[in-house]
Structures are given as structure tokens and as C-alpha cells.
Amino acid sequence: MDPHLLRTYVTVARLASFSEAARELGYTQSAVSQHIAALETDLGLPLLTRRPVAPTPAGHRLLEHAGALLLRLDAARADLGRFAAAPRTTLTVAASPLALHPRTLAALPATGVTLRGLPREQVPEAVATGEADAGLVDGIAAPSDPLRLPDVAPLASTGVAEEPLAVVLPASHPLAGRTGLRLDDLVDARWLDAPAAGVPLEQLRAVHAGPAGRGFRTALRYEGTDTRTLAALSAAGHGLALLPLPVAAGVHGATAVPLVAPRLVHRTELLLPGPGRTEPAGNAGPGRTEPAGNAGAVRTEPAGSGEPAGPAAEFARRLQS
């Protein structure tokens, strides 16, 4: 399957227009039509209806594969390009909002840095495709356990921080006087769904392991990235939120009650291009490095080796010191 034809198909399907796809890709409309026809001939199946332009059932199935295939190809091109690239003098870091805290911010170089805030799931993609030199991603996990990250490319993942979690609720809430809370006690509560600014409710449902699709009902969905706004919404009574304790503490009108069960922490990991060396299982705490989702170690190599060097390597050293 020709990746150029596949990329054209994905663009046409996304825009629902041959002419718009041609404009975005820099092709003529005739060339786009030829690409789609060639791909359909190769696969022996119609992929798009023409009026309106929409994927057929086979086209929908192809789209389920296409994103991962194209991402992996882009990652491979970026990975190989690092072997011939000149040493970098600047640093671009992609980060999920809650991964930016005093420890990670203090490790950034004083100059030459571009910091890009992205949703969690896009941080590994940005590092894999070369849009960022390094990534900072966060999530919840058992103490010292690595985060479960998408397998988009060979990436070295290092745990750099773990913080306790707290439930944010109004100061007048009946549970505000507790010294600790269990997720089991909060399954039927009203929650704020803030996938970018807080811990996504889908993660709470996953770690609670209750019946699929049940519990932790959404009272209000917040699609922003400002954790202060999220905490203020909770203080105003719009729903509970789960945040790292240092972020949750000190919110006006709210109380932060530590989460005591199950044993979970807010974990931040550094992502760099390239695989790591294998470490014994169970050594994935802060300062340990593993291929994303496993165990390993970041290597810092000279320019031309394809491994992190320059500002990215210095950033990694400062985070792990």
C-alpha cells in the first residue's frame, strides 16, 4: 500500500472534499482523484462515495488503520533524520498541562526554549515525529509503576516526579472534613470531566475497575487546560476533581482531601526519541528510564548517533539529577 495514496485518502475523508484535499496537499484535484482511484484498485474495494464524499464501510475500516500507519511512518522518517541532523542549539518541549510543575520547569534551559502545551495523547506523537525534541507527560499510576503510553515509536520514558493525589471539593461539602477519601466512596458523586486540565474520568473508571461505563458521572465538562479554573469550578460546587495534591492545596473556597485508596500517585515522565536499555522489572520509579511502557535507560550519544544530544540531553540530565 503506497503511503502517499493513503495520506491522500485520509485527507479527502477528513475534509469530505476532493478539492479541499487538493488545496491542503498541494496537488491538483485530478491528481487527488487519481490517487484515490489507484488506492481503490490496489485494494479491490471502493473506499469513498462521491456524492456526497464519504467513506464506505471498507473506507471506515481503512481509516481505523491509517492513522497509526502514517504516524509510524512519520516517526520512522524523523528518527532516521536525526542521524544526519546538525546538533540542535534550541529545545522544543511538548507537555501536558499537569506535567508542568516546579521540578520540570526548573530544569528547562534559560534560553532557546519553546514550550508547547498539548493534550496527553499528543505528547508522544510530537516527540516521535520530531515536532518536539522532548516531551513531558503525566497520568495516574501505582507508586513506581510506569505510565501506559501509546506505542507510536521507539521512545525512552523516564519517571521524573511522583506526587500524591487529592480530591478537590467545596469547603461546605459533607466529605470536606475527612482526612482521606477512597474512590469507592465517590463512584456515585458528581464529577468534573476535564481531560486536559485534570485526571480524566476514564482513567478513574479504569483504575476503579467497576462495571464498564458506570460510575463517576459527569456533572460538567471543562475542555480548557487551566487547572486553576478547574479547581474554581469544583469550589463553586459544579463537581469533584482529582488533582495532584500540590495543585489542589490552597484553592480558595475548596478543600483538598488526600486520596488514600487505591494507592495511586500522579506521575510525570520525560519522553525522548530512541529506545532505552532494559532494566530489571520494578525499577521504574522517578529517575529510572524505560522504553515507553516498559523499563530501560536513556542514553546520551554524540551528534549523528540519532540519540538525544545538546539541549535535550542537558534537560534530561537536569531532570534526573
H-type helices in 225-284, by residue range? Answer: 227-235, 245-248
Instruction: For residues 240-249, give the mean pLDDT.
Output: 95
Please give the pLDDT value at position 294. Answer: 43
6 or 212, higher pLDDT: 6
Please give the pLDDT value at position 292. Answer: 56
Please give the pLDDT value at position 296. Answer: 36
Please give the pLDDT value at position 215. Answer: 86
Q: Phi and psi for 236 in degrees, rounded to 5?
A: -80, 0
DSSP 8-state secondary structure symbol assigned to residue 120: G
Instruction: Work out the pLDDT band at 210, boundaries 50, 70, 90.
Output: low
Instruction: Work out the pLDDT band at 247, boundaries 50, 70, 90.
Output: very high
d(CA 208, CA 163): 19
Instruction: Work out the pLDDT band at 212, boundaries 50, 70, 90.
Output: low
- CA nearest neighbour of 40 among 70, 13, 68: 13
Instruction: Give residue limits of the domains in the chain.
Output: 3-84, 91-321
Whether pLDDT at 262 is above 80 = yes
CB crowding 258-270: b at 16 or more within 10 Å, else e? ebeeeebbbbbbb
Q: What is the pLDDT of residues 32-45, one digit of tens each?
A: 999 999 999 999 99
Mean pLDDT score of the chain: 89
Q: pTM of this prediction?
A: 0.84
Tell me how long the chain is: 321
Instruction: For residues 73-86, give the mean pLDDT.
Output: 90
Whether pLDDT at 282 is above 80 = no
The DSSP element (H or E) to which 170 belongs, if any, is strand 155-170
Residue type present at position 92? T
Neighbours of 57 (CB within 10 A): 10
Contact 255, 169 (CB under 8 A): yes
Whether pLDDT at 219 is above 70 = yes
**Residue carrying the nine cell digits 478547574:** 230
Q: What is the pLDDT of residues 142-201, one digit of tens each?
A: 999 999 998 899 999 999 999 999 999 999 999 999 999 999 999 999 999 999 999 999
Whether pLDDT at 300 is above 50 = no
Contact 96, 138 (CB under 8 A): yes
Instruction: For residues 26-30, give the mean pLDDT.
Output: 97
Contact 158, 298 (CB under 8 A): yes
Instruction: For residues 246-269, give the mean pLDDT.
Output: 95
The DSSP element (H or E) to which 165 belongs, if any, is strand 155-170
Contact 35, 9 (CB under 8 A): yes
Q: What is the pLDDT of residues 46-70, one digit of tens each?
A: 999 999 999 999 999 999 999 999 9
d(CA 178, CA 162): 23
Rg of the chain taking only CA atoms, in angstroms: 23
Instruction: For residues 7-30, give the mean pLDDT.
Output: 97
DSSP string, 176-209: TT-S-EEGGGGTTSEEEE-TTTS--HHHHHHHHT
3-84: CATH, from 1.20.1540.10, 3.50.50.60, 1.10.10.10, 3.40.50.80: 1.10.10.10
- State how far Cα 272 lies from the chain centre: 14
Q: What is the pLDDT of residues 106-147, one digit of tens each?
A: 999 999 999 999 999 999 999 999 999 999 999 999 999 999
Residue type present at position 227? T
- CA nearest neighbour of 221 among 206, 235, 239: 239
Instruction: Specify the CATH number of the domain 91-321.
Output: 3.40.190.290
